[in-house]
Amino acid sequence: MSLRLGDTVPDFTAETTEGPVSFHAWLGNDWGILFSHPKNFTPVCTTELGQVARLKEEFDKRGVKVIGLSVDTVENHPAWVQDIKDATGATLNFPLIADADRTVSGLYDLIHPNASDTATVRSVFVIGPDKKLKLSITYPASTGRNFDEILRVIDSLQLTANHSVATPVNWTSGDDVIIVPSLSDAAAKEKFPEGWKAVKPYLRFVPQPGK
C-alpha cells in the first residue's frame, strides 16, 4: 500500500555507509528526509548526492536529518562515494542505506513495475518528529531533484506546524503568509493583534511569524 500524507512511516533496520541504522531511533525527535536511488553509479543521482552533501548545513540548521537509499550492497557504496567526490567535489556526509534485498524499498513502495521489477523510483519523503509523512515527491529517472525546493517546503512545513498559517504560491521564508480559514476573525485578532490584509474574507495575509 502506498504511503499517504499523515501516515506513520515504516520503521526498519538497515546497513548504511555509517553503520547499522534503526530508522525511528535514528530520527529521534528530529525531522527527516529519506530519498531513494535506483542503484549506485547512476549519473543523475550522483549529482544529487553531491548537492545534498553541500546543503547539509542548511538541513542541520532546520533540525533535519538526511538519509539516502540505494538498491545496492554496502560493499559497493565506497566506490560510488569516491565517484561522487570526484564528480561534484563534495564528500558524502550523511548515511546511504544499502537496500540490496529491497526490504526498505518494499516498505516505502519504491518498486515501480511499469519501469522495472527491481529498480526503485526516485522518491523523496519528508518526515516529521512525530514519524508521520509530511510530504512525498516522486521524480522520473531523467529529472534531477530540486533540493532548494525541498528546503523551501521544509521551511513551510515547520512554520505551518507551529502557527495558524499557510504559505501562498511561490512563498519563500520571510514572505507574507495566509491565516488559515479555520481561524475566525475573532481568534485571529488574538493571534495577530497587529491585524492583517484581507484580499477576500477567506484570504488574509500577515507577516511571517517570527520575522
Count other C-beta atoms under 10 Å from residue 98's C-beta: 21
Distance of CA 113 to the CA centre of its chain: 24
Rounded to an integer, what distance in angstroms lies between the CA atom of residue 25 and that of residue 13?
A: 10
Residue 94 has what pLDDT? 95
Closest CA to 47 of 177, 168, 142, 156: 142
Grid cell 528546503 is found at 151
Residue 120 has what pLDDT? 58
| Segment holding 29, helix H or strand E | none
Residue 48 has what pLDDT? 93
Residue 40 has what pLDDT? 64
pLDDT in single tens digits along all 211 residues of the chain: 578 999 999 999 999 999 999 999 999 999 999 998 776 667 888 999 999 999 999 999 999 999 999 887 777 778 888 989 999 999 999 999 999 888 998 899 887 655 554 455 789 999 999 999 999 998 887 888 999 999 999 999 999 999 999 999 999 999 999 999 999 999 999 999 999 999 999 999 999 998 8
Residue 70 has what pLDDT? 87
For the question of residue 144 being annotated catalytic, the response is no
Grid cell for residue 206: 500577515
Residue 117 has what pLDDT? 47
Residue 179 has what pLDDT? 98
Name every residue whose Cβ is closer than 8 Å to that of residue 47 and which is 6 or more positions away in sequence: 87, 88, 144
Closest CA to 2 of 186, 183, 125, 157: 125
Grid cell 555507509 is found at 17
Which of 14, 21, 45, 157 is an active site residue? 45
Which domains does the chain show, CATH number per domain?
Answer: 13-144 (3.40.30.10), 163-206 (3.30.1020.10)
Residue 113 has what pLDDT? 57
Residue 95 has what pLDDT? 95
Name every residue whose Cβ is closer than 8 Å to that of residue 128 and which is 6 or more positions away in sequence: 31, 134, 157, 161
